[in-house]
Amino acid sequence: MEKIPNFKIIGSGSEEEKAKVEDTLEKRLYDNRGFISERDIDRLKALEYPKGDVEHAAINFSNRYTSALLERAGIPNFDILANNYFIMPNDEYLKVADPDSNATAFTLRKVTALNALKVRSKPLFIAMVILHETTHLKSFLSVELSEGEKAEDKSLFRDGVIVYSSEKKDEEAGFSHSHFKGLQEAIIANLEKRAFSEMSKLPELQDEIARLNTPEILEKRKKISEKKKIPIEDILWVSDTTEDYNWVAYPRTRFVLDYVCDEIQKEFSDEYKSSEEVFQEFSNAQFNGNLMTIARLVDGAFGKGSFRILGNMDTDANSAALCMETLKKLRLQKA
């Protein structure tokens, strides 16, 4: 069986239970029955919407695209099979995922659930959502297993650049917390944006690309772009008949990461010739889990303790705006 190359188990748990955790996760790559209970899987399999040409092309593209990113981070590739993507009816989706989300990657199960109501019949948008969630599933993953714990008691310790508090600390504090949620989504959504021009060349998407560029739809996209202050190419779907639209996720947190990369490049111009090269360090950390380089760069450009501040950024626009304000202040003090 294929090993998941960027998966680690930490903690004082027994080797036997740790081996069980590893075995289960690897099986998930090929058998998604563990996604929900055995009792419900047949019902879900009957209810899920079939994947069409667009979805299959997007899954293949996403595996190809992310394999190059893994390689750049020094990690051998592994693929997520089409079976592990479920396009679910709205009411089924709401039973397992955040109601505000369009899709969710269950990283410990190596499965993506997509809400049909929000993503289906939006070819370019669903393709980009598939890429986004595939990137989550192929990111670095680490779980903690403490002494005496069984495999199923494991807790998430790292997920991409996200760091979860240890079980011991949770016990002391009475709650668990995590850092770098906003940064993680910024990295993934930025990778998604970088894939856009290649993705939009897929033959399966050409009808939709043409529709998005008809004069009426283009006019709608322009208006949204001006009103929301986001680039027009970020708008991935617009309704023909209503005011509905979709864009590349997390624009405000992406802007923070863009700013951070620009300033790091200025501070370390000998090491990095472009802001893009700096961004690649963030991308690498997402896949290989090594936070040392990006911590050094952020603290180097914004002052000691800044990496922690970036870690406090959440995924919402408000949190991103507050983080941006603080980082700009710190950068001024540093200069």
Least distance to Zn ion, CB of residue 274, Å:
25
Question: What is the C-alpha to C-alpha distance for residues 96 and 93, in angstroms, rounded to an integer?
Answer: 6
Q: What is the DSSP string of 147-189?
A: TT--GGG-EEEEETTEEEPPHHHHHHHTS--EE-HHHHHHHHH
Distances (CA, A) of 156 to 108, 144, 181, 249: 8, 6, 13, 24
Under 8 Å between Cβ of 84 and 30: no
Nearer to Zn ion, 14 or 315 (CB): 315
Q: In the complex with Zn ion, which residue's Cβ is closer, 36 or 188? A: 188
Residue closer to Zn ion by CB (options 185, 234) is: 185
Cβ closest to Zn ion, residue 159 vs residue 185:
185
Minimum separation from the CB atom of position 115 to Zn ion (A)? 14
For residues 287 and 302, which CB has a smaller minimum distance to Zn ion in the complex? Answer: 287
Angstrom CA distances, 308 to 97, 180, 289, 303, stand at 28, 8, 16, 11
Please report how close the Cβ of residue 269 comes to Zn ion at its closest, in angstroms.
Answer: 31
Cβ of residue 47: shortest distance to Zn ion, in angstroms? 24
Query: What are the two backbone dihedrals, phi and then psi, of residue 152, each rounded to the nearest 5 degrees?
Result: -75, -10
Smallest distance, Zn ion to C-beta of residue 182, A: 11
Question: Nearest residue by C-beta to Zn ion?
Answer: 185
| Least distance between Zn ion and beta carbon 249 (Å) | 6
Closer residue to Zn ion (CB): 57 or 137: 137
The 8-class DSSP code of residue 50 comes to: P
- The encoded tokens of residue 15 equal 């080797």
Which residues bind to Zn ion, rule: CB under 5 A? 185
Per the structure block, which two tokens stand in for 81? 């099979």
The Cα–Cα gap between 29 and 330 comes to 44
